[in-house]
Structure 1
Amino acid sequence: MKVLVLGATGYIGGAVVEKLQERGHDVVVVVRGERQVPGVTDVRNGDLSDPATIEVTPDIDAVVHAAQLTGDEAVDLEAIGKLTVKPLVYVSGVWVLGPVDGGHEESPTDPIPLVGYRPKVERLVRDAGGTVVRPGVVHGRGAGIAALLRGQAAERGQGVYVSDGTVPTWAFVHVDDLAELIVAVVEKGEKGALYHGITEEGVPLTEVAQAAAESAGVARSAHPWPLEEAAQLLGQGFAEALALSQRVGSDRTRAALGWNPSRPGIVADLVEGSYQGSL
């Protein structure tokens, strides 16, 4: 298949490009400016903030949207509308479920403000016959939110987690397991379906903070980082997202697609995996 990937220079999109190529697919990418993607020769210019620059040509068989939304609802919906001329896989996220304990693929959405209109994007994709993949918090390759927590541990000399007075739990997925799931959806996903990319359903952030501290070479510890204080550094919306507590599963996705994730969990990845090395 010839697959068009948006967000190919990003964390998730880059891994998806690699997995598509490993599976023998012909990858086309859309980038801004003169950016290049290793191993990809068909590089096209476009900017999701200007949907007029996005074109899905007749030679494309499927599209993967792994880019960040622009933050402008009208613009994002317009861009999605242009992409749905071919089978589209949109990479969303479980934050659209809001605070949930035992969430699954059919749970109702209750999005936090940071992703407030994302359910509309999901619905537009599915109504057009596309598919949606909702990852948990993505880790691996030494990047993502786990790298932020590790950096904060190094800076403060202790492990921290954002808290509104409670200890949140997060659902996690390794970026390479997620990329394999997205490729499986491209190849055999059901039209209009929704899939969850989750490998760990609910890990207490005390455990993650302790692992981040150990990875950073400081005393293994977990201290609450007050939401109000975190918001001053990270912005209110993102800080609220980091304080969100969720337990979310992916049993239906695994059964439907035969997805069998195999990479290390978040704690092992921090302590002895991809987050080792210099800060």
Structure 2
Amino acid sequence: MRVFMTGATGFIGSAIVKELLKAGHHPIGLARTEAAAQKLVAAGVEVHRGELEDLESIKSGAAKADAVIHTGFIHDFANFKKSCELDRKVIEALGEVVKGPIVVASGTALIARGTVTTERDQPLVNADVLPRVATEEAVAAVVAGGGNASLVRLTPTVHGDGDQGFIPIVINAAKKGGGAFYIGEGQSRWPAVHRDDAARLFVLAVEQSTPGAIYHAVAEEGITTKELAGVMAKQLNIPLKSISAEEAAAAMGFFGMMWSMDQPSSGKLTKEKLGWQPKEMGLIRDMELNYFK
């Protein structure tokens, strides 16, 4: 298949590109800059110049393809609601021109509720309350209009070489604060997946997608924040300590709030439906080997 990709040069997108090529597909990557275009060419990917804010460029790129994988997102936390509503518009635009599968990245954190969540769970609030839910609302709207859109919910920690997400942020905060910290008793659970495992799931999802399907890229259901902080303490040779949610928010802002969330999640139904089997190392082992060099 010819697969149009947003976010093709990103942390997860670049891994998906490799898996698409390995499976014999033809990725077409959206490139906003010349540097991004050169990365795609070097990876053996067809380039489509454009950007998420230019919906006509999105439509023209998608029109070249049999399917779409949409992982691009503008991570502007100062204008977060605006970024989320743009994502809604991008998904709507894709739905207007693509009749084949449209696989969209979302997150398991959107359905967090302190128990192990599954692919059957839906967000408890709408986008007016939690702006990022706009992505899931947009996919549902495409499906309601007869389109073949589906979701891959990613864990808050997608780890691997080049990770610049939550775990490195917490590690840097620990370095600055002189202590590896967890909140309260440290029993908040975080699911995780290696980016290469997640990439393979996206390819399976685009190959086997069912309209309205929800898949979970979850390899590990829930590692406690105390366990993760313990790895940081040992590797950095700093104290392990408990702090309050308010102290975490002061140290890391939005990310401190995320660190306090108990959000275990399951990918069991995804594994059964798509035959997906994570095979990469787990988060703690990856941290021990690669996050403190």
**Structures share fold, TM-score greater than 0.5:** yes
The separation in 2 between residues aligned to 1:88 and 1:186, in whole angstroms, is 7
For this pair of structures, how many residues does the alignment match? 272
2:215 counterpart SS class: strand
The separation in 2 between residues aligned to 1:166 and 1:93, in whole angstroms, is 22
Answering whether residue 272 of structure 2 is matched by residue 251 of structure 1, we say no
Segments of structure 1 that go 5 or more residues without pairing to the other structure are none
Residue 258 of structure 2 corresponds to: 241
1:101-140 alignment runs, 5 A limit? 101-110=115-124, 113=130, 115-127=132-144, 128-136=147-155, 137-140=157-160
Residue 234 of structure 2 corresponds to: 214
Answering whether residue 241 of structure 2 is matched by residue 223 of structure 1, we say yes
The separation in 1 between residues aligned to 2:249 and 2:54, in whole angstroms, is 30
Segments of structure 2 that go 5 or more residues without pairing to the other structure are 75-79
Residue 77 of structure 2 corresponds to: none
2:43 counterpart SS class: coil
Instruction: Specify whether residues 30 and 61 from structure 1 end up closer, same or farther in structure 2 by C-alpha distance, changes over 3 A only.
Output: same
The separation in 2 between residues aligned to 1:100 and 1:157, in whole angstroms, is 29
2:152 counterpart SS class: strand
Partner AA of 1:28 in structure 2: I
Residue 64 of structure 1 corresponds to: 69
Deviations 1:189-234 (A, max 9, x none): 222211011011111100011112333x323x53234433443454
CA RMSD after TM alignment: 2.3
1:131-170 alignment runs, 5 A limit? 131-136=150-155, 137-143=157-163, 144-161=165-182, 163=183, 167-170=187-190
- Cα offset, 1:158, TM superposition: 2.5
Partner AA of 2:230 in structure 1: Q
Answering whether residue 105 of structure 2 is matched by residue 91 of structure 1, we say yes
Quick one: percent identity of the two aligned structures? 29
The separation in 1 between residues aligned to 2:246 and 2:210, in whole angstroms, is 42
The separation in 2 between residues aligned to 1:113 and 1:58, in whole angstroms, is 31
The equivalent position to 1:192 in structure 2, one of 212, 215, 218, is 212
The separation in 2 between residues aligned to 1:98 and 1:188, in whole angstroms, is 27
2:222 counterpart SS class: strand
Instruction: Specify whether residues 116 and 262 from structure 1 end up closer, same or farther in structure 2 by C-alpha distance, changes over 3 A only.
Output: same
- Cα offset, 1:259, TM superposition: 0.6
Partner AA of 2:18 in structure 1: E
Instruction: Specify whether residues 254 and 125 from structure 1 end up closer, same or farther in structure 2 by C-alpha distance, changes over 3 A only.
Output: farther
The equivalent position to 2:278 in structure 1, one of 261, 266, 270, is 261
